[in-house]
Amino acid sequence: DAKTTQPNSMESNEEEPVHLPCNHSTISGTDYIHWYRQLPSQGPEYVIHGLTSNVNNRMASLAIAEDRKSSTLILHRATLRDAAVYYCILNSRGGGGSQGNLIFGKGTKLSVKP
Amino acid sequence: GAVVSQHPSRVICKSGTSVKIECRSLDFQATTMFWYRQFPKQSLMLMATSNEGSKATYEQGVEKDKFLINHASLTLSTLTVTSAHPEDSSFYICSARGVRVDRGNSPLHFGNGTRLTVT
C-alpha cells in the first residue's frame, strides 16, 4: 500500500490559514487522497478527498500537486476547534487496505493558539 | 451526512468480564464495517473487518476468540471483548462503508469511539 509522510506537528494562530502538507511519492493512478481529522477522545472525521483536481468544501480545500506526489490540506481560517490530528491517507478503488479499510499513519497534530 | 453511532461511549468493567460494543449506521446500509483500536498517543490500528452475513476477517495478532464480531444486519455490527483484562483497555472505534462501487471515492464514516477501561 502506498504510504504518506506528514510532519508530526504544526502550530497555527487562530484565524490564520493553515497549510498541512502530505507527501505520497509512491501514489498510484487509482489512489484517491483522503484527509481525516481526529479531535481528542473522538473518532476520526472525514474532511475532504480528491483524485487529481483541487477540491473545496465547507471545511477545507485540498490542493493536489500536478504529479500527485504531494498534497496540501488548507484550512482557510483556523479556529480553536480545528486543533486535532490530521491524517492524510491514500484510498484506492480497491479500497486502501487489503480489506478496503483505511490505513492510518501518525498524522499531523495541529495546535491552534488564540 | 452519513452517521455512524457507537455505543457505549465509555465503559468500565472488571477483569474477566465481557463487554459488548455496538456500531450502527443510522442512515445508510453498511455492507462492510471495520473495527479499530487506538492506544494512548498512537494511531488507529485495524483489528478486524466484518461483512454483513459472513465471518469477520481478523488482522494478524488479533485473537478472534477474544474479540467476537457479529455483523448480522446491514446497519449493525457488534464487537464483544470476552474475558477482558487490563491490557485490553483502549479506545475502540468502528467505521462503516456504504454500498458503492468505487470505494476509493467513498469516505469512511466513523463512530465516536468507546473508551474501555478494565480494572
| Cβ–Cβ below 8 Å for B107 and A96 | no
Burial status of residue B85 (CB atoms within 10 A of its CB: 0-12, 13-18, 19 or more): exposed
The minimal CB distance from A45 to the residues B49, B94, B110 is found for B110
- Can you read off the three cell numbers belonging to residue B106? 467513498
Q: Averaged over A16-34, what is the pLDDT?
A: 94
Q: Averaged over B31-47, what is the pLDDT?
A: 93
Cα–Cα distance measured from residue A64 to residue A22, given in angstroms and rounded to the nearest whole number: 10
B55: Cα within 13 Å, side-chain hemisphere = 4
> Is B32 at the interface with chain A, CB within 8 A?
yes
B4 in Cβ contact with B98 (< 8 Å):
no
Cα–Cα distance measured from residue A103 to residue B61, given in angstroms and rounded to the nearest whole number: 16
For residue range B61-113, what is the model confidence (pLDDT) as tens digits? 999 999 999 988 889 999 999 999 999 999 999 998 877 656 678 788 999 99
Burial status of residue A109 (CB atoms within 10 A of its CB: 0-12, 13-18, 19 or more): middle
> Is B20 at the interface with chain A, CB within 8 A?
no
Range scoring the smallest mean pLDDT among A31-35, A96-100, B12-16? A96-100
| Cβ–Cβ below 8 Å for B113 and A99 | no
B95 in Cβ contact with A97 (< 8 Å):
no
| Cβ–Cβ below 8 Å for B104 and A30 | yes
Flag whether pLDDT at A25 surpasses 70. yes
